[in-house]
Amino acid sequence: MKKIRVAVVQMEVIPGRPDKNVKKIIEKIREAKKNKNNIVIFPEMAAGGYLIGDEWENESLIRNLMEINEKIREESEGIMVIWGNVWADFEKVGEDGRVRKYNAALIAQNKRWLDNGVFKGHTFKTLLPKYREFDDERYFYSMMKLANERKVNVEELLKPFEVKIGDEKIKIGLTLCEDMWWENYSVNPTETLVKNGAELIINISASPWTWRKNNKRHEVVKKILLKNLVDFIYCNNVGIQNNGKNIFLFDGSSTIYNSGGNLMVTAKPYNEEILEIDLFDEKSVFEEENSEEKDTRELYNGLIYGLKKFFEQTGIKKAVIGVSGGIDSAVSASLVTTVLGKENVIGINMPSVFNSGLTKKSAEKLCRNLEINYKIIPIQESVDRTINQLESNGFLTNEMVRENIQARDRGSRILAGVAACIGGVIINNSNKTEMALGYTTLYGDMNGAICPLGDLYKWEVYEVARYINKINQRELIPKEIFGVVPSAELSDKQDVTKGKGDPILYPYHDKLVRAFVEFRKDPKEILEWYDNNVIEKEMKLEEGLIRKYFKNRNEFRKDLEEKWRIYKLSYFKRIQAPPIIAVSRRAFGYDLRESQNGVFLIDSQL
């Protein structure tokens, strides 16, 4: 077969801004023509954005996006254009009673809509995800439902487009994002298209990044292509989509695979670029790096990108951060300084009588290393005043109340006040384990505009910290911070100079929270792992760790039940948390959809 030159456009899609997106699409079409490409490809929902929530119920927006489809068709003179956008059938309604909408791949050439014998100029997403942050079925009608409505097998609707490029004819199968991830569905759209004659598969995606997801995608594509020998193009977007609870990262990583499932070329993550390649030419193949350092690098780059785009989209240019001398605030401060610049970040240490000289010196050293503005604002006087005011009015304070007063004084009084003064925002320092176990004070350390570490466990925070020092080739984050026991320093029971810290056994409780949150395990299953002596294997714990922390089954069970209760009862804090950058397979917020139902334990469970 003659060579076909394709341009895969990895573009930033700005959610809810079709005006900006269509301008960019038209620019890239014209650039692709100039470079003598035969086909130019854009991501899924490239015009309007993907995760825009109930904006999809706005009929005026839908009509505007349909007009944009016609504008893009008009630009296809001399080239084939494939792009993602909504396609509406104004004669029918969806299951929500509104105009029926489809998540569509559109295809035009020489100003004409191309026809595959079933649809003219478009095809629809077959598999609509309804897990995690995805809510496609809330807004869109699927190819599966359409087949059911027409009383035909979905295979009869999944037809490739036979197109002509020069003197060559080729059959192109179009799929959208989830159609590639078919293993948990009854239909494999890619395989069906190949059976129906497709010689090339193009998957346009709006696929959010999570840690290690790209490796899984390569495996999925290779498995498909080893059975169906066709070339495969994956076109993804970059950017962020922020629903107010989570900031979802889109890394792009657009890839062209040969018919053996090997990578021919891949785009740089988080980078707008165009992959140009001759299909059906000699296949140069490369292998992606797989290592722990690559994983940490991807995580770090994702956090930096998410913060950068958050500040760009909001227009905020300054931030204040409470620096305690601990690892979480150190990593947050480093990330934010990298994004905003040292002149736009203020680090504030707010000691009470319980803060040690060790952590105060570490906080100062960190800010000096980062070269950010550093202030010390003690809180003991105002804390004592609050306690005195409460008790003089008959409200007796206990230790926990006094701890929370300190945290709220720092967050709601000092940090909020400074943020207002400088026209900036507070950075939240909470990590995922603390948030899960309620070890955070609402309106105290659970405040701010964004939470960079809210989807990282404590051990992952340390990994990112070590990586930061490595890429800076010096101890940007002081070594003393790595050595100090994690502690909120809110009472004499948390004296770091005596090795006393948080009431969380991070090496174990990190993994326990992961079992609760990401793997959806409950105490019954975890206790069974303990009883069957496989808990360290199942939870990937250091050998001997359980015996180190718990003398017997009763101690283990008691801790397990306590942490489960705290996890369930702390939802009210998490739902009021600032937006979290999602990097794991389940992030608190809109990704993990929790309910405030209290605690339920089967009597025989524990």
For the chain, give every domain's residue range: 4-280, 297-503
Tokens of 489: 């320093």
Contact 494, 504 (CB under 8 A): no
Strand-strand pairing, 161-165 and 168-176: antiparallel
Select the highest-mean-pLDDT range: 373-377, 569-573, 591-595: 373-377
CATH topology of domain 4-280: Nitrilase/N-carbamoyl-D-aminoacid amidohydrolase (3.60.110)
Confidence of residue 283 (pLDDT cuts 50, 70, 90): low
Q: In what order do the strands lie in the sheet with 200-204?
A: 161-165, 168-176, 200-204, 231-235, 255-257, 263-266
**pLDDT for residue 167:** 84
Position of tokens 């003179």?
Answer: 77
Q: How far is residue 292's CA from residue 316's CA, in Å, rounded to a whole number?
A: 34
Position of tokens 């191309």?
Answer: 114
Contact 561, 428 (CB under 8 A): no
Contact 274, 10 (CB under 8 A): yes
What would the pLDDT profile of 374-398 be if each residue is shown by its tens digit? 999 999 999 999 999 999 999 999 9
Tokens of 93: 């309604």
**pLDDT for residue 281:** 64
- Residue 292 clears pLDDT 80, i.e. is over it: no
List, in sequence order, the alpha helices (H) in 437-522. 458-472, 479-483, 506-517
What would the pLDDT profile of 527-552 be if each residue is shown by its tens digit? 999 999 999 999 999 999 999 999 99
Closest to 123 (Cα-Cα) out of 165, 95, 156:
156
**pLDDT for residue 542:** 95
- Residue 603 clears pLDDT 70, i.e. is over it: no
Position of tokens 């030159």?
Answer: 5
Extended beta strands in 11-135, E state: 39-41, 80-93, 99-109, 112-113, 122-124
What percent of the chain has a predicted confidence (pLDDT) above 70? 97
Q: How far is residue 527's CA from residue 552's CA, in Å, rounded to a whole number?
A: 12
CATH of domain 297-503: 3.40.50.620
Confidence of residue 215 (pLDDT cuts 50, 70, 90): confident
What would the pLDDT profile of 3-17 be if each residue is shown by its tens digit? 799 999 999 999 999
Q: How far is residue 444's CA from residue 386's CA, in Å, rounded to a whole number?
A: 14
**pLDDT for residue 601:** 79
What would the pLDDT profile of 242-264 be if each residue is shown by its tens digit? 988 999 999 999 999 998 888 99
What is the residue-wise DSSP string for 428-449?
P---HHHHHTT-S-BTTTB-SS
Q: How far is residue 431's CA from residue 428's CA, in Å, rounded to a whole number?
A: 9
Closest to 251 (Cα-Cα) out of 203, 210, 197, 295:
210
Read off the pLDDT of each residue in 465-478 and give the average, rounded to a whole number. Answer: 97
Strand-strand pairing, 99-109 and 80-93: antiparallel
**pLDDT for residue 574:** 94
- pTM here is 0.94
Neighbours of 103 (CB within 10 A): 26
What would the pLDDT profile of 51-105 be if each residue is shown by its tens digit? 999 999 999 999 999 999 999 999 999 999 999 999 999 999 998 899 999 999 9
Confidence of residue 495 (pLDDT cuts 50, 70, 90): confident
Rg (CA), the chain: 27
Equal CATH topology for 4-280 and 297-503: no
Main-chain phi, psi angles of 162, to 5 degrees: -85, 115
Closest to 363 (Cα-Cα) out of 345, 349, 352, 373:
349
What would the pLDDT profile of 395-423 be if each residue is shown by its tens digit? 999 999 999 999 999 999 999 999 999 99
The overall average pLDDT reported for the chain is 94
Closest to 45 (Cα-Cα) out of 208, 190, 159:
208
Read off the pLDDT of each residue in 486-514 and give the average, rounded to a whole number. Answer: 89
